[in-house]
């Protein structure tokens, strides 16, 4: 009788364990997630394909870059970054994530921004990154821990990407800002 009790208990425990294993299988998205190399503003952050230093970040109502005047219905997230490749020529792709919501860098300023351009090993390029965000972004979930991700622009799955966690609520918001276009060298 005692033996039967242990058998039932063992069976229930195995069923519970099986449920636990099933319930905790990571999603395909998580299994294939990129490997984030994290750093802070001013750090020289090295991932497998690129070396990045984000020199400064701020918010702006309007930006001017060369002859282009960037207006927005929201607010601009502006970063100045120095980026070089490590091994071979790479494209630069940038997004900002707020609580899982993706905001891509803007291509509206054409080739004047460092994102969307290509970088080579040993030849760092410095320039602005522009991302349009909702006007109420600082009140949105995730605003205190937004993640700026810089990658090669190809499929980021299982790739090495650079990430900076940024508290948007602590950033200064400027009115109209004139930006320096992308140029060779470090800042």
Partner 1 sequence: MPAETITSRVRTWLPLIAAAGVLAVAGVVAIPLGGWDTVVPESTIIPEHPVGEPFVSHRVSTSIDDLYLTDVHPDGYSEPEAGETFLVLVATMESETDGPEIPIASSSFYPFTIPGVIELGVALDGTSYSTLLERDGNFGPVVVPGLADTLLFVFVVPSSGFADGDVVRIGLTDATPEEADIIEGTRWVDVHIAVEVPITVRDER
Please report, as ranges, the residues that interact with partner 1 according to CB under 8 A: 28-29, 32, 69-74, 100-104, 107-108, 132-137, 140, 157
Q: What angle do CA 175, 42, 182 make, to 5 degrees?
A: 60
Residue 32 or 89 with smaller CB distance to partner 1: 32
**Nearest distance, CB of residue 30 and partner 1, angstroms:** 12
**Nearest distance, CB of residue 120 and partner 1, angstroms:** 27
Residue 22 or 185 with smaller CB distance to partner 1: 22
Residue 105 or 126 with smaller CB distance to partner 1: 105
Residue 15 or 101 with smaller CB distance to partner 1: 101
DSSP letters for 134-183:
-TTGGGSTTGGGEEEEEE-SS--TT-EEEEEEE-GGGS-EEEEEEEPPPE
**Nearest distance, CB of residue 176 and partner 1, angstroms:** 15
**Distance of alpha carbon 133 from alpha carbon 76, whole angstroms:** 6
Q: Is 111 helix (H, G, I), strand (E, B) or coil?
A: helix
Q: Is 175 helix (H, G, I), strand (E, B) or coil?
A: strand
**Nearest distance, CB of residue 183 and partner 1, angstroms:** 23
């Amino acid at each position: 009788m005692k033996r039967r009790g242990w058998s039932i208990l063992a069976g229930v425990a195995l069923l519970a364990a099986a449920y636990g294993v099933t319930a905790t299988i990571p999603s395909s998205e998580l299994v294939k997630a990129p490997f984030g190399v994290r750093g802070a503003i001013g750090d020289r952050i090295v991932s497998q394909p690129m070396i990045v230093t984000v020199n400064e970040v701020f918010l702006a109502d309007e930006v001017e870059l060369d002859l282009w005047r960037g207006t927005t219905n929201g607010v601009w997230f502006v970063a100045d970054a120095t980026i070089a490749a490590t091994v071979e020529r790479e494209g630069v792709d940038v997004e900002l994530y707020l609580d899982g919501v993706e905001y891509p860098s803007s291509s509206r300023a054409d080739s004047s921004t460092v994102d969307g351009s290509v970088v080579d090993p040993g030849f760092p390029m410095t320039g602005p990154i522009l991302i349009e965000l909702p006007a109420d972004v600082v009140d949105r979930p995730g605003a205190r821990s937004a993640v700026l991700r810089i990658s090669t622009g190809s499929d980021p799955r299982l790739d090495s990407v650079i990430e900076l966690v940024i508290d948007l609520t602590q950033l200064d918001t400027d009115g109209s800002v004139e930006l320096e276009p992308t140029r060779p060298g470090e800042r």
